[in-house]
Structure 1
Amino acid sequence: MSEPVIELHDAVIMQEQPVLQGVSFTLEKGEFAYLVGRTGSGKSSLLKTLYADLPLQQGVGTVAGFALPKLAPAKIPFLRRRLGIIFQDFQLLSDRTVGENLMFVLNATGWTGKARKQQRISDVLARVGLAAATNRMPHRLSGGEQQRVVIARAMLNEPVLLLADEPTGNLDPEVSDSIMQLFAEINNAGTSILMATHNFQLLEKYPHRVFTCKDGQLLDSGRR
């Protein structure tokens, strides 16, 4: 068996003060799980801890093979290259085309060779159904198309884990469905996904394991 992509034991998730305590769970390779809970319950703080935007100060944990406690700042970019991070508000560079947005990430993460980088951009855009969007500006795309570009960006480095924070939060139900179907394809190809959401209709339509942030604890639907 390969090691889990996420493994936390007795972790304390901090945002100035503890927001979640005694967090223990594993997420296996190829597993899909939701993260739910009220605003302020710790969902985003947990995701930020997993991609080392917040330090893990108490407890033990590994993400994509990197030990989180005492993770040296110089190691954080190497962790993030193994992750795909998807935000609700897209965070695309508005003054660059779709292709230039993706090229920026490849350059920042050490890719070399112009032809190789162009091929990778073509591959990920085709995968999300936007093969013809390379030269379009983000503001010329619909919300659903922009989110597909964000997913393509997250897939550039072939991550073992996607962390998605409310990826359908700004999208109408039909577009949300198409994004969920895209996530299903990515997941079926072997990428683990942990997705924070407020949309309980998605949980019913696309059932998976559910982690619930409640009263400072992380409850696990997979734990009986």
Structure 2
Amino acid sequence: MFSNEPVLSLQNADIFQGTKIVLSDVTFDVHKGDFVFLIGRTGSGKSSLLKTLYADLWLQSGKGMVAGYALEKLKPKDVPYLRRKIGIVFQDFQLFMDRNVEDNLKFVLQATGWKDKTKMKNRISDVLMQVGLSAVNRKMPHQLSGGEQQRIVIARAMLNEPMFLIADEPTGNLDPVVSEQIMQVFQTIGNAGTAILMATHNYDFLKKYPARILKCEEGQVREQGL
């Protein structure tokens, strides 16, 4: 089923951090297969904007639609269902250090309602192959490099075949060579049709991987011309 509906749409949205408006009147759409960079100084509202999209912060005014869910009408019980439709990749890996890669991924599948063991095993193999780490399912996170751990986090975000991937500074803790490899993984995922919104401070990426750029500054989100 192909739809022209955007996978993410904000209209006149005010983004709050507590009681303070950090971004006002935010309006933009992201469609299937779009790759969008989100830039701006620390404290400019990038993280608050992303948190609003995955319902860690409530949308208090304006309209927002993410993966078919209206953010302004979202009830707490809907949040897990929204998050199944989107993948989230953070800067700090947030893997369980007491279990191997396969069990880290299986935990997410079980938590999102998967029951069939064979299907779970197959899906885990698929996402590990997608990020180029087919052979690590039995390894513990501490046996992997930082770059490999971040690939596992990307694999985890892809488990439920999200329409949309949110990445908050995904290469922030990685050296340039590894950051480049992670960026290639995102490019591959994007080329396969998943929309990606990536917050980054790495301005080299903007030159090397031309894409749409949204900039948070002075309380606004502005589309940057390439």
TM-score (norm 2): 0.97
Residue 9 of structure 1 corresponds to which residue in structure 2? 11
Q: Find the aligned partners of 2:192 and 2:73 in 1 and give their Cα distance.
A: 32
Residue 42 of structure 1 corresponds to which residue in structure 2? 45
Alignment of 1:1-224 (within 5 A): 1-16=3-18, 17-221=20-224
Paired residue secondary structure (1:124): helix
Superposed CA offset, 1:63-119 (max 9, x none): 011000020111111110000000000100110100000000000000111111011
CA distance 1:192–1:222, change in 2 (3 Å): farther
Give the ranges of 4+ consecutive aligned residues of structure 1 lying more than 3 Å apart after TM superposition.
Answer: none
Q: Report deviation, 1:41.
A: 0.5
Q: Find the aligned partners of 1:208 and 1:168 in 2 and give their Cα distance.
A: 17
Paired residue secondary structure (1:69): helix
Amino acid at match of 2:26: V
Gaps of 5+ in 1: none
Q: Find the aligned partners of 1:51 and 1:205 in 2 and give their Cα distance.
A: 28
Superposed CA offset, 1:134-188 (max 9, x none): 0101011001000000000000000000000000111111111111111111001
Paired residue secondary structure (2:134): coil
Q: Find the aligned partners of 2:63 and 2:15 in 1 and give their Cα distance.
A: 11
Identical-pair percentage:
62
Q: Find the aligned partners of 2:184 and 2:225 in 1 and give their Cα distance.
A: 23
Q: What's the C-alpha RMSD, in Å, of the aligned pairs?
A: 1.0
Q: Find the aligned partners of 1:213 and 1:145 in 2 and give their Cα distance.
A: 30
Q: Find the aligned partners of 1:23 and 1:163 in 2 and give their Cα distance.
A: 17
Q: Find the aligned partners of 2:80 and 2:128 in 1 and give their Cα distance.
A: 23
